[in-house]
């Protein structure tokens, strides 16, 4: 499932492709959205925004296309009307004379007026976006200490888009590792240094993933590993998807657990401080 950095990179590509000239044609797969095709055809797209995993394509006419990729949605940006060979179902297509932006498989697509965004169940209720340059470490620290959140387990809290938006499963494991926090802990169990470390890691790793196309490992280490001939899949992460492999820092085998149906990876040594004895 794509996380905030992947959606933001997709939005950047879509924005470069379809904001340069008016929309030549537009297609909605869902019948209740088809009346908007005539309203949006010929209009200009102002920009493409994201909040976490949600995307908003803003039109000059003050209508907006909201989409959420969920588990299976995927965007393609291609030459105009050059559709990919795929068994996926096309849900949305936006064309100009040069490019096409194509959304496949997603089912969460809406057309919204500006006033409707204020009450939208996702767009209006998500927490601070870790990719937003205005979001600070101090803001994230404050949320970790907020009574609404500080008693909740970090493994679920870091995936809650109402807490922070843009983090997903791989970033969760990576943030906990970089902060030196065991997956069993809650914010209230953490030291002040760990709280600050969590806030710093949540912002820094999300932004690094965005700029590097998904790499969250230490970049100096990545450069060395590349020279040694390791593949991207081998050097990309600190701990995620590396169960049984040695920790880059202490050489202890990385461990994997399934919590709430989602995989969590961690180093039992680097993340041992304050570990709960009931964690299994």
Active centre residues (catalytic): 2-3, 53, 262
Nearest-5° Cα angle at 226, 207 to 218: 35
Question: How far apart, in whole angstroms, are the C-alpha atoms of residue 225 and residue 106?
Answer: 36
Residue 223 dihedral angles phi and psi, to the nearest 5°? -60, -40
Q: Is 51 exposed, middle or buried (0-12, 13-18, 19+ CB in 10 A)?
A: buried
Q: Is 189 exposed, middle or buried (0-12, 13-18, 19+ CB in 10 A)?
A: middle
- Return the structure tokens found at 3: 């996380």
Tell me which DSSP letter residue 189 carries: G
Residues pairing with 63 in the sheet: 113
Return all residues near 88 (Cβ < 8 A) that are at least 6 apart.
Answer: 72, 74, 104, 105
CA gyration radius, the chain: 21
């Amino acid at each position: 499932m794509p996380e905030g950095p992947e959606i933001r990179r997709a939005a950047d590509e879509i924005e470069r492709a379809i904001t340069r000239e008016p929309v030549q044609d537009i297609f909605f797969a869902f019948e209740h959205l088809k009346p908007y095709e005539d309203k949006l055809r010929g209009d200009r797209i102002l920009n493409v925004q994201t909040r976490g995993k949600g995307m908003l394509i803003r039109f000059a006419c003050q209508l907006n296309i909201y989409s959420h990729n969920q588990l299976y949605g995927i965007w393609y940006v291609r030459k105009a009307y050059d559709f990919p060979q795929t068994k996926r179902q096309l849900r949305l297509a936006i064309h100009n004379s040069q490019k096409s932006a194509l959304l496949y498989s997603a089912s969460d697509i809406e057309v919204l007026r500006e006033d409707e965004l204020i009450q939208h169940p996702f767009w209006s209720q998500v927490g601070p976006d870790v990719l937003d340059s205005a979001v600070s470490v101090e803001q994230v620290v404050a949320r970790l200490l907020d009574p609404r959140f500080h008693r909740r387990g970090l493994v679920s809290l870091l995936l809650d888009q109402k807490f922070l938006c843009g983090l997903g499963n791989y970033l969760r494991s990576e943030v906990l590792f970089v902060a030196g926090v065991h997956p069993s802990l809650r914010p209230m169990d953490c030291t002040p240094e760990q709280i600050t470390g969590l806030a710093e890691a949540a912002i820094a790793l999300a932004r690094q993933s965005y700029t590097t196309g998904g790499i969250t490992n230490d970049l100096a280490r990545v450069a060395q590993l590349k020279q040694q001939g390791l593949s991207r899949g081998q050097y990309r992460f600190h701990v995620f998807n590396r169960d049984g492999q040695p920790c880059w820092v202490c050489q202890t085998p990385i461990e994997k657990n399934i919590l709430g149906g989602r995989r969590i990876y961690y180093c039992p040594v680097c993340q041992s401080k304050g570990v709960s004895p009931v964690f299994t």
